[in-house]
Structure 1
């Protein structure tokens, strides 16, 4: 079986690289003689890290190679992740939404079948974006989405023709390998109470940085935690982490991981922490995967959906509703109840792991 995988790959986003690693590992485990080509912005690096064929993903070069790969493919896997959205500017054929839909249409024209795979849908708010979804997403052969909200949203957008099944984020099927490079990079004694912290820039919402900085200061002083910032998207998250640290009175008690560790290395690190306070979706998924209780700060429906499924929504916040004192209280509560909450998270993550593997089973059922 020959597959082409299209997604946000080769751009240094830990969550998306975890998605790719999970897709590739599970395809190799479940599909005999699988032949994999990935469209990547860093094709040489992706080929080296995953032992796959690669083609440069953007339009400025290797377009003949894209068409050749799609002509040879049995199926295009579009995803996973939040590809089909117009949060970022969409102008005619430029922007994430048109790109992924055009790749899907090219695949159809080249004779390949198309599966939108383990995707979180939206937001799609522009008139043009909605038109593109109705015209092109309806051409897919099969769709799996990572939450019920995404399925409902697809139907609201008029995407009703392909069979759509709710599964879970494919990263819940991540095949963990032991690697403590993150921990070994830090100057720690081994007795610290580690609190993983994941932040990100998010448009006009930067006031959360002050609230988080103040909350972390109190948790350091009253609960003896050691915050470690885990940047999930390279320099973007490194810069956001530094801004929070600079606003803290106890900045010297914090640590900041480098922004170039692998998804597996970040996963192993988060798994060794007492708890996580995070914005990034996949920092929370990594926490759930390793049974680490987490306080989420949701900037998007996909984050809220995950927190409800992991069982940690009662301790979490919508970004616009973040309250500094409540954040301290909730994090302290999570630390005090860690053992019980860890068991609860592990049980919920096991269900989502089964659902994540269903993405592969459905691909086999409908495309082999």
Structure 2
């Protein structure tokens, strides 16, 4: 059996790679005889880190911007997009037809909470699902995120890619509800927790008294492109203000990221604060993220999977959400009061939430631990369901 893994994997996003790790562990346990490979954003990293042969997703990946007068740049860019779409279509279809099963392991692949162009992942994903339908390949979207998509072209491509799939499951009720509104979901589709919670928790160092503060590159959504720099600056300034408030209270701070793109923001915050009590140590893997989170006593996260890993490790966690998914996972764990929307972020309110959370630590940790047991049980059910559908003949 040939099984392919598809998506923004190996691209520097730690959450995406975490869901890949969870599915790889499942496949190697369930089908150790299978031949695995991947069509992904970072093939070199996927092959080096996981030993899975991989090819580049996106013919235009890494190409240099066009130069010259604006009309020439526009013409060259348009030509590249058209040529890239044609080449990618042929490459994706050729890749899919060589497999029995193609798995999209988690991720927010049916979301548009962060900017993306129609000719990027939406087109590639549509071609992948259509190819599966044409060639009789079982395409499975496993515990994915979804939202109601306002951009017409992205919405059409992503909804069709989901509807053409052989199997779909969603990582929260909000995602399933959005998928139903977009007519992406079928009547038998189920909600299972994010695949991150299926990863083993490695032994970690005892927690100290520092606070883990996760920041991210946040330019807004597709509709905010004209104001992206201003949005990023306002967010960075507010997170800097919050870190300074923690320092004034005598706390130590460990800065965290969830994607390589976030490092510039971390370094910006660190340079603005200029304190020996603010630490940032680069990391690129899920194990390294868990090790660093293990040293803190509280997590404040923006990047979605920083929040997930905080909860996974049983840490009192505050989520700064750029999508409904943040609130959904906090509700799933019974701690939804510890949440702020990133577009209404208030640094002083965030500090008050942090201070209140310290007084509720015992209750909050107990609630998280109880929900973690339920989440792990549901993921066992997810993998049993996946086995029956993909390998047991059930449709």
* Aligned match of 1:199: 215
Q: 1:166 aligns with which of 169, 185, 191?
A: 191
Residue of structure 2 aligned with 1:102, choices 102, 120, 127: 127
Partner of 1:185: none
Partner of 1:292: 315
Which of structure 1's runs of 4+ aligned residues deviate more than 4 A?
60-69
User: Once structures 1 and 2 are overlaid, which stretch shifts more, 143-152 or 24-33?
Assistant: 24-33
Which residue is 1:57 aligned to? Answer: 57
Structure 1 residues 217 and 130, CA, compared in 2 at 3 Å: closer, same or farther? closer
The equivalent of 1:74 in structure 2 is 100
How far did 1:327 drift? Answer: 1.2
- Distance change >3 Å, CA 341–CA 64, structure 1 → 2: same
Which residue matches 2:157?
132
Indicate how the Cα distance of structure 1 residues 281 and 134 shifts in structure 2: closer, same or farther if over 3 A, else same: closer
Which deviations, in whole Å up to 9, do the C-alpha atoms of 1:335-366 show, x marking residues without a partner?
34333322211211222222233332221011
Residue by residue, what CA displacement relative to the aligned partner does 1:121-178 show, whole Å, maximum 9, x if unpaired?
1352122223334544321111100011111111111224473111111111012344
Separation in 1, partners of 2:127, 2:352: 47
- Residue 13 of structure 1, CA deviation: 0.7
Question: What SS class does the counterpart of residue 350 from structure 1 fall into?
Answer: helix
Q: Which of 175, 181, 190 is the equivalent residue of 1:150?
A: 175
Q: Distance in 2 between matches of 1:54 and 1:191?
A: 37
Go from structure 1 to structure 2 and tell me whether the alpha carbon gap of 1:192 and 1:32 turns closer, same or farther (over 3 Å shift): closer
1:51-70 CA-to-partner distances (Å, cap 9, x unmatched) read 22322222368987755542
Q: What is the TM-score when the length of structure 1 is the normalising length?
A: 0.88
- Using the TM superposition, give the Cα deviation of residue 195 of structure 1 relative to its aligned residue in structure 2, in angstroms: 0.9
Q: Is the 8 A contact 2:148 2:182 kept in 1?
A: no
The CA distance in 1 between the partners of 2:370 and 2:322, in whole Å, is 25
Distance 2:25 2:353 in 1: 36
RMSD between aligned residues: 2.4
Cα 1:337–1:162 change in 2 (3 A) is closer
Is 1:311 matched with 2:334? yes
Aligned pair in 2 of structure 1 residues 100, 67: CA closer, same or farther (>3 Å)?
Answer: closer
Deviation at 1:112, TM superposition (A): 0.7
Partners of 2:240 and 2:334 in 1: CA distance: 25
Unaligned runs of 5+ in 1: 181-189
Residue 15 of structure 2 corresponds to residue 15 of structure 1: yes
Q: In structure 2, how many angstroms separate the alpha carbons of the residues matched to 1:217 and 1:202?
A: 20
Give the structure 2 partner of residue 345 of structure 1. Answer: 368
Number of equivalent positions: 353
Q: Distance in 2 between matches of 1:152 and 1:163?
A: 13
Q: TM-score, normalised by structure 2?
A: 0.82
Q: Which moved more, 1:192-201 or 1:352-361?
A: 352-361
Question: Higher mean Cα deviation, 14-23 or 81-90?
Answer: 81-90
Partner of 2:82: none
The alignment partner of 2:97 has SS state of helix
Distance 2:208 2:204 in 1: 19
What is the correspondence of 1:111-260 to structure 2 with a 5 Å cutoff?
A: 111-161=136-186, 163-178=188-203, 192-203=208-219, 204=228, 205-206=231-232, 207-222=234-249, 224-234=250-260, 236-248=261-273, 251-258=275-282, 260=283
- Superposed CA deviations along residues 181-237 of structure 1, whole A, max 9, x for unmatched, are xxxxxxxxx995121111112114332332322222222222x32111112111x21
Structure 1 34/46 Cα, relative in aligned 2: closer, same or farther at 3 Å?
A: same
User: Structure 1 residues 34-43 or 109-118, which shifts more?
Assistant: 34-43
Cα distance, 1:270 vs structure 2:
0.8
Correspondence 1:37-56 to 2 at 5 A: 37-56=37-56
Which residue is 2:81 aligned to?
Answer: none
